[in-house]
A = this chain, B = another copy of it.
Amino acid sequence: MIDHIGEKGLQRAELAQRTGCNLETIRYYEKIGIMPEPPRTASGYRVYYERHVSRLRFILRSRELGFTIEGIRGLLDLVDGGTQTCAEVKERTERHLADVRAKIADLGRIETVLAATAAQCSGERVPECPVLETLGS
C-alpha cells in the first residue's frame, strides 16, 4: 500500500520524494506550464494525485533522455492534445536521436585529443608542457 495514493493526495515534498524530483523544480514546472496547477487545501497547500506522479515521471524521464523543456512541452502537447498520430512523436524522437549521435561523435573527437594530449605528457617538471602546447597551438 506504500504506492497507493488515496483521496487525501500528496504534499509537494511527497511528490518530490516519490519521483526523485527536486522540491523547487516541481513549482518551477508548474510555473512554466508543463505541470498542471494542482488543487489546493483550504489553507493553500498543493495536493497531488496519481496523475501528477505520472506526468512528472514522464517529464523527468524525457529530461533524462536529453529532451529540452521545449522538446518535452512538444511531447506533452501531443499527449494532451489526444492526437492519434504516432508519426509526429516518432519524428521528434528520431530528430533527437540524431542530435544525441552528433553529440557522441563530438565528444569522441574530444576524447581522442585529450587522451593523446595526456599521453604525451611525462608528468615531470619540464619547462614546456605538451598539453599547454597543444591547447596553445
Interface of A with B (CB < 8 Å)?
54, 57-58, 61-62, 64-66, 75, 78-79, 84-87, 89-91, 93-94, 96-97, 100-101, 103-104, 107-108, 110-111, 113-115, 117-118, 121-127, 129-132, 135-136
Contact = CB atoms under 8 A, between A and B. Distances in A.
A135 B75 contact: yes
A135 B62 contact: yes
B132 A65 contact: no
Contacts of A131: 86, 89-90, 93
Nearest to A90: B121
Contacts of A62: 135
A95 to B, nearest CB: 10
Contacts of A111: 97, 100-101, 104
